[in-house]
Structure 1
Amino acid sequence: MTGQHGPPVAIVYFSETGTAQSLADHLRKQLLRLRFQAFVLDPEDVERVMTVLFAGGHDEHRPIVVLLCATTGNGEIPRHARRLWKVLLRRKLTSETCAGLLFTSFGLGDTAYARFNWAAKKVHKRILQLGGQELCKRGEGDDSASGGIEGGYATWEPILLSSLLDLYPLSNGLERIPDDILLPPEFEVRTLAPSKTKESPGTLLQSRVTPATRLGTVTVNDRITPPTHFQDTRQFKFAADENHKASQHMIPGATVLIYAQNDPEAVSALISSQNWDHIADDLLSVPAAVQKWATTTPLTLRSLLTYHLDLNAVPRATYFETLSYFSRGNEQQAEKLKEFADATNEECTQDRYDYADRPRRSALECLLEFESVKIPVAYILEVFGTLRPRQFSIAGWSNGQIELLITVVKYKTILRRIRHGVCTKYIASLKPGDKFLYEIAQPQSKPPPMDKPVVLIGPGTGVAPLRALLIERFNRGIDTPSMLVFGNRSRIADFYYENEWKAATAAQEEIDENGIMTLSGPKCTIVACFSRDGNSTRYVQQVLKRDDVAREVGRLLVHEGGYVWVCGSKGKMPRAVRSAIEEAIETVIGSNGGNAVAEMDKLGRYLEETW
């Protein structure tokens, strides 16, 4: 890019789902149009990021840093940025470490979680402690707000750009590059010689994603809900790679990241729509940055689309912005794409929501409906994001096998179209003996210690990591008290691990007038409720308010120093459970339970794992 001015701008993204990465690429383009030299950094490249942050001095060529930081889990740093975060927390760093650094940040969060934008706040505060100076005030995006994260970002980006131009105004005849001029791709893809293997997605390579990626072999993939039940939940077991067979390296709360693949029919539909049939199986030339995460050989357009690019994500404004450059011969479609790309206009944002978000249209579906769009192969990495692995909590492990509890995502949209989760559909298709790519991720937060009482709350498949903890306790002969509060729709259809709980407690079931089941063992109590059985609706937060349950929960937490671990879907459940725990504590201490829970949270005794 010729005619650049000002210092370089480094954009570092902390991303869990790909949104921060998408915004980073969008910001890079906006800065290029303003003639800044902008580049994007992945925090996994710790050495490069450290070089930028810790450069020292006030050199005019020292990069300005923009941090786009998502929050995951219970206020945690995204997985791929945790090594960098540990570096930033080193005690030997001082208030002069980032002296002379101009920086700012934007947080991507969701007010449905108690620790809204917690990770972004922590990172921003730490850079300030190390001597960094704010270029402009940090911004925040809220996925639960009407405009979503992009709405918040669209408000903040002009503030950032204005601050940069105030310091480094365009001069010497330089002008902003107009929006209608297509910028060159950051990562260009080119076709080479034809592949010897036609219409094949390629062969999996286990070592090309991360050093921790391995090949697992499916041993069990059984549906455990009745065929008549609306939900397909699976007991999924696989033989771990030899490097992962040592169970002592697994702790409760660990997860498996499974690398899925796109449906071959969907890939073929995309190839045909873009007139790529004649080059789909040609070998590709891709930048070194892409080769690092390529998991197939040979790498062709078909294998790139099958294993590496996300065709099913609900597209954001940046997606439509990119497509608008490739619409030819249909002014109406080109104009509509530009409208969907406008995140600053409320009417355009609402139109995009009604078209894409509300009916859950996928990126591929949108592309197929905008028939005038023909994407040059060189730009394919600019259009589609990376197909990221999906995390599943480990429900147990033994004899070199890892067990998961997985619900296959399948639902009908308001357009009456069937939607499938890419990863769970892929998992459902696997048969015993099939191999797949996976990775083990240890939890960032420590699970409750074995010698302390625990109150575990896990509706639905949220029970998986809690089961792993209880099995570990049972196997070690731990006799400290444990209480599990489980909830689901129907005892007959989805009371997961019912027989295990009965065997572990060796107790006769007791059912109260509301249909709540209790299994009271010497050191383990299971309380289960089912929201669709009977005439009244019952959820885990209501169970926690039953007098005897509330008294026991309060006793375990107040008098015995117990821990709480909540797992399951985000939204109302975690907040309602927290409120019920506060009330349970109040039955014992007679005062504000909110302060007590806040103190437990601070001490790591109140844990949440929600998604």
Structure 2
Amino acid sequence: MNSVAARNIANAEPPADRLALLARGLDGLGAAQLYWVAAWAAAQAGQLQRHGAAAPVPAAQAGERLTILYGSQTGNARRIATALASRSEALGLPVRLLRADAYPQRELAQERHLLVVVSTQGDGEPPDDTRGLFEFITGKRAPKLPALQFAVLGLGDSSYPQFCTIGRQLDERLAALGASRLHPFGEADLEFELVAEPWSELVVERARDLLRQVAAPGRVTPLHVVAPAGAHSREQPFSAVVLANQRIVSRDSTRDIRHLELSLEGSGLRYQPGDALGVWPRNPPALVAQWLDLLQLDGAGEVSWKHRRQPLRQWLERDCELTRLHRGFIAALAAAGGHAELAGLLQPENAARLAAVLADHQPIDLLRRHPATWQPEALLAALRPLAPRLYSIASSPAAVGEEVHLTVAVVEYEADGHAHWGAASSLLAASGEDARLEVFVEPNERFRLPADDARDIIMIGPGTGVAPFRAFLQERRERAGSGRNWLFFGNRHFASDFLYQVEWQQALKDGSLHRLDLAFSRDGALSESPHGDARGVARNSRQTKTYVQDRLRQRGADLYAWLDGGAHLYVCGDAKHMARDVHAALIDVAVAHGGHSTDSAEAWLGELLQQGRYARDVY
């Protein structure tokens, strides 16, 4: 190596912010993917040397490309954005595809052609990977954008009152900053393909017209990995054999929670700890019978719908969403039965009442209270297509090979004198050994173990939210890294609901789990040994309910010291209550033990999110 080359390499270390961005992008990639990235980077370096382009690419070149950003919690926005990029590349357009948290915000002022695909979570919140960009665009530091042409596609679930609100707010804010819409805002429900496909086609055609003068086939280098044709996916699921189905709570537990093990042998499916498994459900036959009896419809009667013909019973069991209520069904029922009260529920002033109905009722509950006469075709038109359910994976392939494990809470309850069921959980509970389930892997790029095995990790997972942390611990044990592992777990009762108790106790003994803090809310105060192995439960006279967020505050000094020392923090479970309560507890910890104000504690947590050191898998 000559002296000039050596000096160039010695001085080549990128700025710290770029290194952090690079580390986040590479975190969790496998060996083959890292080699691909290395090869691509080497090719790019060669091009720069051949063309003498050591200087940064001029900002003006931003006008010659199409930038596509996505913000995704469950993977749908990522899939649509990737398809958008592929469609654009096929037309010869220069494309840059980025997850929202990987986008350099300072480049927004120079951007000229921008597409955004973003989902809305829960009650109107952005996905975790979009929080930083959303706050930047909607905040005071956002630049004026008179030269930008953009389009936004919002994804959501009309079962929630704040349907697609994040996408709508981004669309309105970009326009307020002076940008011009190259296509109107798109609003997609769970059957997102119905909106996303025509929206994408029109947007890409418009982008091609705008970039026609500068687009040149052969200039495009795809920056994302495309799955090989024929690979199993959401649209082409793998038929997995059930190897084991075991109840992991005691007989007297008020809940039925299952541990399932499925075979992926021969599927070609690969996953990492932190990913989810998609399961295509079927509605329970007993629920379908309830619908047919209530509506006095013939389940054996053949019905033609969307270019297919099959018995109505089969439509309801395999194709229609029967357990999740949404706005469209309420509107259809109100019209079918002439129910003014139901129609009024959809008015803006009744948002709180609507939210309560959507959260606490299944469609059949409203059918019982608001009778209507239905023709089979009209009923199918009012129902949404059955959608897959995602379950956090509870295993590491490094430990279990070509298997995948799940932790499933079975939904089955009585309300208003009638039995109610969940679609996927009922199917999973009833699947004995050798049964087959239609599955696919849903990557979760934001929920990955740190690449550095010397990093400490803190895991907060009450109930079935502990599932991915079983996978994390298996992976960390196989890697034999030096980082410490701390788990916070909570449930109702120590004696009946301590999920994977034997595994956690064994992990404490063998040193793969360093700390375990427990919170059993219905048992009162918990007494722990000095080693954190929770050998006993002491009930106090007031039966105080203790949750994981209470444990976080009690362990606040150590918790903050771990985080201040570089630990990664993970939260999995209920988004509506638990995740918010945990976030509030973390703010309290930062105030009490880090010298923060409430505002600076919030900013500190936001920085951890941006760094990828605070990750949430909430639902």
Give TM class, smaller chain: 0.5 to 0.7
2:58 corresponding residue in structure 1: none
2:221 corresponding residue in structure 1: none
Structure 1 residues 83-162: aligned runs within 5 Å: 83-84=82-83, 89-90=96-97, 95-97=111-113, 109-110=122-123, 118=131, 121=134, 148-149=161-162
The 2-side partners of 1:598 and 1:528 are apart by 36
Q: Structure 2: which amino acid aligns with 1:428?
A: A
2:497 to 494, 497, 508: 494
2:275 corresponding residue in structure 1: 254
- Residues 95, 504 of structure 1: alpha-carbon distance in 2 compared, 3 angstrom cutoff: closer
Match status 1:321 vs 2:331: yes
Given that residues 132 and 606 in structure 2 are in contact (C-alpha distance below 8 angstroms), is that contact kept between their aligned partners in structure 1? no
CA deviation after TM superposition for structure 1 residue 424, in Å: 0.9
Structure 1, unaligned runs of 5 or more: 1-53, 57-68, 160-184, 187-205, 292-297, 328-332
1:303 corresponding residue in structure 2: 314
CA deviation after TM superposition for structure 1 residue 470, in Å: 0.9
CA deviation after TM superposition for structure 1 residue 231, in Å: 0.7
2:556 to 524, 533, 550: 550
- Residues 270, 70 of structure 1: alpha-carbon distance in 2 compared, 3 angstrom cutoff: farther
1:181 corresponding residue in structure 2: none
Given that residues 218 and 237 in structure 1 are in contact (C-alpha distance below 8 angstroms), is that contact kept between their aligned partners in structure 2? yes
Q: Structure 1: which amino acid aligns with 2:82?
A: R
Q: Structure 1: which amino acid aligns with 2:478?
A: N
Given that residues 334 and 343 in structure 2 are in contact (C-alpha distance below 8 angstroms), is that contact kept between their aligned partners in structure 1? no
2:288 to 267, 278, 286: 267
Residue 239 of structure 2 aligns to a residue whose secondary structure is strand
Q: Structure 2: which amino acid aligns with 1:392?
A: Y
The 1-side partners of 2:594 and 2:509 are apart by 32
What is the root-mean-square deviation of aligned Cα atoms in Å?
5.1
1:568 to 539, 549, 573: 573
**Cα deviation 1:175-224 (Å, max 9, x = unaligned):** xxxxxxxxxx99xxxxxxxxxxxxxxxxxxx9998455111111111111
CA deviation after TM superposition for structure 1 residue 385, in Å: 0.1
2:548 corresponding residue in structure 1: 540
1:286 to 303, 306, 309: 306
- Residues 479, 263 of structure 1: alpha-carbon distance in 2 compared, 3 angstrom cutoff: same
Given that residues 487 and 516 in structure 2 are in contact (C-alpha distance below 8 angstroms), is that contact kept between their aligned partners in structure 1? no
The 2-side partners of 1:602 and 1:407 are apart by 31
Percent sequence identity over aligned pairs: 20
Give TM-score scaled by structure 1 length: 0.62
- Residues 90, 419 of structure 1: alpha-carbon distance in 2 compared, 3 angstrom cutoff: same
**Cα deviation 1:81-126 (Å, max 9, x = unaligned):** 352577775389984436xx9x999967515789699599599989
- Residues 610, 372 of structure 1: alpha-carbon distance in 2 compared, 3 angstrom cutoff: closer
- Residues 371, 224 of structure 1: alpha-carbon distance in 2 compared, 3 angstrom cutoff: same
2:488 corresponding residue in structure 1: 485
Structure 1 residues 32-431: aligned runs within 5 Å: 72=73, 78=77, 80-84=79-83, 89-90=96-97, 95-97=111-113, 109-110=122-123, 118=131, 121=134, 148-149=161-162, 210-244=234-268, 249-271=270-292, 277=298, 280-281=301-302, 284=304, 286-287=306-307, 299-316=310-327, 318-323=328-333, 327=336, 333-336=337-340, 339-340=342-343, 343-344=346-347, 346=349, 356-357=357-358, 360-367=360-367, 370-375=370-375, 377=377, 379-397=378-396, 398-413=400-415, 415-431=416-432
Higher helix share: 2
Given that residues 110 and 143 in structure 1 are in contact (C-alpha distance below 8 angstroms), is that contact kept between their aligned partners in structure 2? no
More displaced 10-residue stretch of structure 1: 385-394 or 573-582: 573-582
CA deviation after TM superposition for structure 1 residue 591, in Å: 3.9
CA deviation after TM superposition for structure 1 residue 407, in Å: 0.9
The 2-side partners of 1:502 and 1:106 are apart by 39
Residue 97 of structure 2 aligns to a residue whose secondary structure is coil
Given that residues 279 and 301 in structure 1 are in contact (C-alpha distance below 8 angstroms), is that contact kept between their aligned partners in structure 2? yes
Residue 304 of structure 1 aligns to a residue whose secondary structure is helix
- Residues 567, 273 of structure 1: alpha-carbon distance in 2 compared, 3 angstrom cutoff: closer
More displaced 10-residue stretch of structure 1: 476-485 or 446-455: 446-455
The 2-side partners of 1:569 and 1:471 are apart by 23
2:190 corresponding residue in structure 1: none
Residue 245 of structure 2 aligns to a residue whose secondary structure is strand
Given that residues 490 and 531 in structure 1 are in contact (C-alpha distance below 8 angstroms), is that contact kept between their aligned partners in structure 2? no
CA deviation after TM superposition for structure 1 residue 482, in Å: 1.2
CA deviation after TM superposition for structure 1 residue 402, in Å: 1.2
The 2-side partners of 1:341 and 1:116 are apart by 36
- Residues 461, 70 of structure 1: alpha-carbon distance in 2 compared, 3 angstrom cutoff: same
CA deviation after TM superposition for structure 1 residue 497, in Å: 1.5
Match status 1:504 vs 2:507: yes
Match status 1:462 vs 2:465: yes
Residue 113 of structure 2 aligns to a residue whose secondary structure is coil
Structure 2, unaligned runs of 5 or more: 1-62, 87-94, 99-106, 173-193, 196-229, 519-523
CA deviation after TM superposition for structure 1 residue 244, in Å: 4.2
